[in-house]
């Protein structure tokens, strides 16, 4: 029997989602803001993620550094994530200590300091985070493919931002970004776990009702026109391994095609889990591309990714090519599989299987209170909570004809960005 | 101690069902009625400790081949059964053990147990699959050569554990995996896979008695008279002086740093004091004292933290960080200053109290899921901690003193006898 959810909106626009679960003496508390790289302009890429870092740098009531210790002392954990459409903060703590998490999030919605010294200090930390990413061939390839996939839409930039922008963004720009988007009307507070709903609502009202509701506008961006022809990007770098990444424009999460696309992804590259915390996944050894590419000895691995986003983003297929094969040989085999999906209806059983997999993944994710808290707010950031509630039903409604139609309309060669990481070989590795 | 934590609700003798199958396999079960799913995990004594150095990777490759075909089913049939049920199962090898873990909806537990038994007892190591897997491993090695973090920690372990199973990569090396033959895998399986020392854990929406019967039926008759016992490990010695190495990898932007010493083994009387000390040194809050100095004060790194890895025969105590190459020496110096301070004066009463509270408070969080409980039960058995360990745990943690933390730090950490390895762009 599904556990009921309590939902309400405070006068200042803040949305609350609560779900009592008494299996373990834990509470997971999340605050979601509708701001991410989608809200960034050229010259300030990476600003949303950097703001997220600054949100850990203190307020007058909770100076920098004390919260890490205060939360660790309870045995709880906290963290934050910035993505294309959203930024989120969470604390999962023993139930009798969660009030600290509630207080600190309400406090830093408005009271973060953005001390200039802390800003400079965090500039080096964020640049260091980016430099760590740049060590990875797949990050470099992914960044190039993403930027080739859009001409105008802010989705063209990596969430971490460009090196150049990270060197130039100012303290005042960061603060301005923070004050613009960290508003009750732009946020969702989600709480799951071992608490009493009435008492929790009363406490959240106390903490948040005094915050004035200033933000109303939701950013609406003009749609990016479809690509007119295939784009190819080549990234050269060290190593011996060739990687191939294909990106097709994906449907927005709120587009009915998103669910057919989810089934398509499952058939092609294996099921993707919505669980951000725990639960694990299901392997993809029987997916069509694994069979063709890996069992066919063209590649050593293949993965697909279909993020749920406000605007159309990309559906990516990432392939590690075998050393004795070329990217073009792999590409030809992928095209053959796509042709097959476009021209032959899939079996009902294949669709049913994708649904059973999704159901199992939900069951695994439900064991974990942090994941339960995550689910409560996540879908609000790109669609609505109903999106999440209806997820399995929507999948069940997908027909083989839908899958075929989506394959035909979404996987046209002209709409594809093809990225290849070409290894330049290993220069003699040296020890000193 | 948090008053709200009900210690009796943590896994203990009242709800961990421990039994032995008729062939000696140990079974541990715990019911979790709140979950619709089930997790199995376990191990057998067939890890890379049995690999001759020139065949490093043999145990690992053998374990990965288990699911690639059996006397009854092909690779695709095995995975079709699993993936159609939304279930998962996997095998892998570490130094001591081959481990397995899987999960499924509770109704599919019989499938999971059937496949685990089948893959363990009757693998056929088909040649085409062997070559495919070998090619995947070769690509994995080529990618590892490019991974600054992995290269630094691999070299660190070689320096710390020379000519020792702990110093060799469990998955082997290009030159050791390339020549491995099907016959060698078959022999390895025949010689080392058997019920002796094997442990199976099942957690989730199950009835322990029913599970005991199901597991006995599938695993209880397995015998292997040829199963060989593990040989004792060679002795391990601390470094007599610090060593500094840099691995140059072209085209990289950042350097990864690993530095440290030997650490206590898991059953060492020092273990809990060292573990709490490690928490203070490089984990608590935002990565402890090291994180505070390297990230928060100097802004040199996105991450800088410590870890204490305690295994059966020995352990390592290490600091790791990802830093810009120009800051590498500065980061090493800062870390050494912290290590000297940590081994020369007691931690403060507040620091110890904080870490003790953290250890005790985080237990419910680490034990909330089936997977978390399964891991905890495996540790009970692997290190023979006793079924009541998690219930005694708060008392054990509270009993550690500042003097014991300093004593453990001094016994293991020595700022003048460190292995220091970095990997990244060539040094100027």
Q: Do B88 and A356 touch (CB under 8 A)?
A: no
Q: What is the distance between the alpha carbons of residues B224 and B194, in angstroms, rounded to a whole number?
A: 5
Question: CA of A294 to nearest chain B CA: how many angstroms apart?
Answer: 8
User: Are A300 and A407 in a shared domain?
Assistant: yes
User: Is position A10 within any domain?
Assistant: yes
Residue A372 forms part of a structural domain: yes
Place of tokens 């946020």: A187
ipTM of the complex: 0.89
The answer to the question of residue A333 being in a domain is yes
The answer to whether the CB atoms of B322 and A132 lie below 8 A apart is: yes
Angle at B77 between CA B72 and CA B78, to 5 degrees: 80
Sort residue A114 into left (φ over 0), alpha (ψ -120 to 50) or beta.
Answer: left
Nearest by CB to A283, which of B79, B252, B300? B79
Q: Is A196 on the interface with B (CB under 8 A)?
A: no
- On whether both A139 and A204 belong to a single domain, the answer is yes
Give residue B15's region: left, alpha or beta (phi > 0; psi -120 to 50). alpha
Within the 275-334 window of chain B, which residues sit less than 8 Å (CB to CB) from chain A? 284-286, 292, 295-296, 299-303, 322-324
Residues A62 and A148 occupy one common structural domain = yes
The residue of chain A with its CA nearest to that of B362 is: A75
pLDDT of residue A430: 59
Is residue A223 included in any domain, yes or no? no
Tokens describing residue A359 = 């159901």
Give the pair of three-digit tokens for residue B135. Answer: 């090619």
Chain A, chain B: beta-carbon pairs less than 8 Å apart: 224
Q: Is the CB of A239 inside 8 Å of chain B's CB atoms?
A: yes
> Across the strands, what pairs with A58?
A63
Pair of tokens at residue B209: 């008695």
Q: Is residue A368 part of a domain?
A: yes
Q: Are residues A293 and A351 in the same domain?
A: yes
Using the Cβ of A55 and the Cβ atoms of chain B, whether some distance falls under 8 Å is answered with no
Which residues of A fall within a CB distance of 8 Å from B427? 432
Task: Examine the fold and report which residue of A208, A242, A263 is the final residue of a domain before the chain moves on.
Answer: A208
Structure tokens at A243: 């990687």
Mutate: best of A28, A125, A128, A289, partner B, most B CBs <10 A: A128
A283 and B90 in contact by Cβ < 8 A?
yes
Instruction: Report d(CA A113, CA A120) in Å as an integer.
Output: 13
| A113 & A179 share domain | yes
Tokens of A210: 């005094």
B7-219 and B243-424 share one CATH topology? yes
CB atoms B34 and A294 under 8 Å:
no
Identify whether A384 is part of a domain.
Answer: yes
Kindly report the CATH number assigned to the domain that includes residue A144.
Answer: 3.30.830.10
What are the structure tokens assigned to B167, written together?
Answer: 């110093």
pLDDT for B62 equals: 98
Report how many domains make up chain A.
Answer: 2
- The answer to whether residue A318 neighbours chain B at the CB level (below 8 Å) is no
Residue A168 lies in a domain: yes
My answer on whether A274 and A353 are in the same domain is yes
For tokens 């690992």, the residue is: B60
Task: Say whether both A274 and A337 belong to one domain.
Answer: yes
Q: Is A353 on the interface with B (CB under 8 A)?
A: yes
Average pLDDT on A301-318 reads 96
Burial class of residue A421 (count of CB atoms within 10 Å of its CB; 0-12, 13-18, 19+): buried
Together in a domain, A243 and A118: no
| A357 contacts in chain B (CB < 8 Å) | 83, 86
Asked if B37 and A363 come within 8 Å (Cβ–Cβ), the reply is yes
Q: A125 touching B, CB under 8 A?
A: yes
Q: A350: which chain B residues are within 8 Å (Cβ-Cβ)?
A: none
CA–CA gap between residue A21 and residue A4 (Å, rounded):
10
Measured between CA atoms, the residue of chain B closest to residue A352 is B84
Which residues from chain A sit within 8 angstroms of residue B127, using beta carbons?
none
Residue B115's CB: how many other CB atoms inside 10 A?
23
Query: Under an 8 A CB cutoff, do B361 and A240 touch?
Result: no
Whether residues A411 and A268 share a domain: the answer is yes
How far apart are alpha carbons A104 and A84 in whole angstroms? Answer: 25
Interface of B with A in 164-183 (CB under 8 A): none
What pLDDT is recorded for position A280? Answer: 72
Q: Which of A3, A54, A286, A349 has the highest number of chain B CBs within 10 A, making it the mutation to test binding with B? A: A286
In this complex, do A125 and B299 lie within 8 Å of one another by their Cβ atoms?
A: yes
Confidence at A365, pLDDT banded by 50, 70, 90: confident
Tokens at residue A97, please? Answer: 């200590």
C-alpha distances out from residue B253 to A49, A209, B299, B326, Å: 21, 47, 17, 11
Query: pLDDT tens for residues A254-267?
Result: 999 999 999 999 99
Same-domain status, A154 and A262: no
pLDDT tens, position by position, A207-265 = 999 999 876 678 899 989 999 999 999 999 999 999 999 999 999 999 999 999 999 99
Give the structural domain span for A91. 6-208
Q: Are residues A160 and A28 in the same domain?
A: yes
Q: Which two tokens stand for residue B75?
A: 């690779």
Contact B86 A429 (CB under 8 A): no
Q: Could B364 and A24 be called an inter-chain contact, meaning their C-beta atoms sit closer than 8 Å?
A: yes
pLDDT in tens, A35-55: 999 999 999 999 999 999 999
Burial of A232 (0-12, 13-18, 19+ CB in 10 A): exposed
B138 vs A contacts (CB less than 8 Å): 323
Asked if A174 contacts A119 with a C-beta cutoff of 8 angstroms, the reply is yes
Question: B243-424 adopts what CATH topology?
Answer: Cytochrome Bc1 Complex; Chain A, domain 1 (3.30.830)
Cβ atoms of B322 and A132 closer than 8 Å: yes
The three-point CA angle A394-A399-A401 to 5° equals 135
Q: In the CATH scheme, what is the code of domain B7-219?
A: 3.30.830.10
pLDDT in tens, A98-118: 999 999 999 999 999 999 999
> Is the torsion defined by CA of B367, B370, B375, B376 positive or negative?
positive
pTM above 0.90, yes or no: yes
A355: closest chain B residue by CA: B86
Per cent of chain A over pLDDT 70 is: 97
Q: Which of residues 347-366 of B touch A (CB under 8 A)?
A: 354, 357-365
| A140 CB within 8 Å of a chain B CB | no
Per-residue pLDDT at A154 exceeds 60: yes
How buried is residue A20: exposed, middle or buried, by Cβ count under 10 Å (0-12/13-18/19+)? middle
* Residue A431 pLDDT: 62
A429 touches chain B (CB under 8 A): yes
pLDDT along chain B (428 residues), means of 10: 58 95 97 89 97 97 98 97 95 97 95 98 98 95 95 97 96 98 98 97 94 97 95 93 96 94 96 98 92 85 92 96 93 96 97 96 90 95 95 96 98 97 92
User: What's the pLDDT at A427?
Assistant: 57
Give the helix/strand (H/E) hosting B104.
strand B98-105
Which residues 42-61 in chain B show a CB within 8 A of chain A? Answer: none
Q: Which residues from chain A sit within 8 angstroms of residue B426, using beta carbons?
A: 430
Of B88, B142, B285, the CB nearest to A280: B88
Of B34, B83, B248, the CB nearest to A282: B83
Nearest CB to A322 within list B139, B361, B363? B139
The C-alpha of A269 sits at a distance from chain B's nearest C-alpha, in angstroms, of: 12
Contact A237/B at CB under 8 A = yes
Q: Best interface-test mutation with B: which of A54, A57, A90, A363 has the largest number of B CBs within 10 A?
A: A363
Look at residue A224 and tell me if it is in a domain.
no
């Amino acid at each position: 029997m599904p556990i009921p959810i309590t939902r309400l909106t405070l006068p200042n626009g803040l949305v609350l989602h609560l779900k009592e679960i008494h299996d373990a003496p834990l509470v997971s508390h999340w605050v979601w803001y509708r701001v991410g790289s989608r809200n960034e302009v050229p010259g300030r890429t990476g600003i949303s993620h950097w703001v997220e870092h600054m949100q850990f740098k203190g307020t007058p009531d909770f100076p920098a550094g004390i919260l890490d210790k205060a939360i660790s002392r309870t045995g709880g954990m906290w963290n934050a994530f910035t993505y294309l459409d959203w930024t989120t903060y969470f604390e999962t703590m023993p139930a009798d200590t969660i009030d600290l998490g509630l207080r600190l999030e309400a406090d830093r919605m408005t009271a973060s300091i953005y001390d200039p010294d802390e800003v400079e200090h965090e500039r080096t930390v964020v640049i260091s985070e980016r430099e760590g990413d740049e060590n990875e061939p797949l990050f470099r390839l992914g960044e190039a493919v993403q930027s080739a996939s859009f001409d105008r839409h802010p989705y063209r930039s990596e969430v971490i931002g460009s090196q150049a922008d990270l060197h130039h963004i100012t303290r005042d720009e960061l603060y301005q970004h923070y004050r613009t988007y960290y508003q009750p009307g732009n946020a969702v507070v989600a709480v799951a776990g071992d608490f009493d709903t009435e008492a929790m609502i009363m406490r959240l009202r106390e903490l948040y009702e005094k915050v004035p509701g200033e933000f109303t506008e939701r950013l609406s961006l003009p749609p990016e026109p479809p690509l007119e022809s295939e784009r190819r990007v080549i990234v050269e770098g060290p190593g011996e391994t060739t990687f191939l990444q294909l990106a097709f424009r994906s449907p927005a999460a709120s587009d009915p095609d998103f669910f057919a696309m989810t089934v398509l992804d499952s058939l092609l590259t294996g099921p993707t889990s919505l669980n951000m915390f725990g639960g694990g996944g299901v392997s993809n050894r029987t997916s069509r591309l694994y069979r063709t590419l890996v069992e066919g000895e063209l590649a050593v691995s293949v993965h697909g990714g279909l993020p749920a986003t406000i605007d159309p983003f990309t559906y990516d297929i990432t392939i590690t090519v075998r050393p004795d094969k070329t990217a073009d040989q792999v590409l030809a085999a992928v095209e053959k599989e796509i042709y097959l999906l476009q021209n032959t209806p899939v079996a009902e059983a294949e669709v049913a299987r994708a649904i059973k997999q999704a159901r199992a993944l939900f069951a695994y994710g439900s064991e974990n209170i942090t994941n339960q808290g995550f689910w409560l707010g996540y879908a609000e950031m790109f669609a609505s909570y109903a999106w999440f509630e209806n997820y399995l039903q929507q999948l069940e409604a997908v027909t083989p004809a839908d899958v075929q139609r989506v394959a035909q309309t979404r996987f046209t060669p002209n709409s594809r960005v093809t990225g290849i990481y070409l290894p330049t070989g290993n220069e003699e590795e040296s020890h000193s | 101690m948090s008053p709200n934590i009900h210690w009796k609700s943590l896994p203990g003798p009242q709800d961990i069902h421990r039994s032995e199958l008729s062939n000696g396999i140990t079974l541990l079960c715990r019911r979790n009625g709140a979950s619709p799913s089930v997790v199995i995990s376990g191990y057998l004594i067939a890890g890379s400790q049995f690999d001759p150095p020139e065949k490093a990777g043999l145990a690992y490759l053998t374990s990965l081949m288990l699911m690639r075909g059996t006397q009854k089913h092909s690779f695709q049939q095995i995975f079709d059964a699993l993936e159609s049920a939304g279930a998962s199962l996997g095998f892998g090898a570490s130094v001591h053990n081959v481990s397995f873990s899987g999960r499924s909806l509770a109704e599919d537990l019989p499938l999971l147990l059937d496949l685990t038994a089948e893959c363990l007892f009757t693998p056929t190591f088909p040649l085409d699959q062997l070559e495919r897997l070998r090619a995947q491993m070769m690509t994995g090695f080529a990618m590892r050569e490019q991974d600054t973090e992995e290269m630094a920690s691999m070299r660190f372990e070689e320096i710390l554990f020379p000519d020792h199973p702990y110093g060799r990569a469990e998955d082997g090396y290009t030159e050791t995996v390339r020549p491995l033959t099907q016959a060698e895998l078959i022999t390895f399986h025949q010689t080392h896979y058997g019920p002796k020392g094997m442990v199976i854990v099942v957690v989730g929406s199950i009835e322990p008695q029913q599970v005991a019967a199901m597991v006995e039926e599938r695993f209880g008759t397995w015998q292997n008279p040829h199963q060989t016992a593990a040989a004792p490990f060679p002795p391990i010695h601390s470094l007599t002086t610090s060593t500094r190495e840099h691995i140059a990898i072209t085209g990289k932007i950042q350097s990864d740093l690993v530095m440290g010493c030997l650490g206590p083994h898991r059953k060492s009387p020092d273990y809990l004091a060292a573990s709490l000390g490690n928490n203070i040194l490089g984990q608590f809050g935002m990565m402890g004292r090291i994180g505070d100095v390297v990230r928060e004060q100097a802004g040199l790194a996105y991450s800088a933290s410590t870890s204490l890895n305690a295994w059966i025969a020995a352990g390592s105590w290490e600091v790791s960080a990802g830093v810009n190459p120009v800051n590498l020496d500065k980061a090493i110096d800062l870390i050494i200053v912290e290590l000297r301070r940590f081994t020369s004066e007691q931690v403060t009463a507040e620091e110890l109290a904080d870490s003790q509270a953290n250890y005790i408070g985080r237990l419910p969080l680490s034990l909330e899921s089936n997977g978390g409980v399964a891991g905890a039960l495996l540790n009970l058995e692997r290190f023979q901690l006793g079924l009541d360990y998690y219930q005694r745990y708060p008392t054990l943690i509270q009993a550690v003193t500042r003097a014991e933390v300093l004593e453990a730090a001094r016994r293991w950490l020595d700022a003048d006898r460190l292995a220091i390895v970095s990997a990244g762009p060539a040094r100027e």
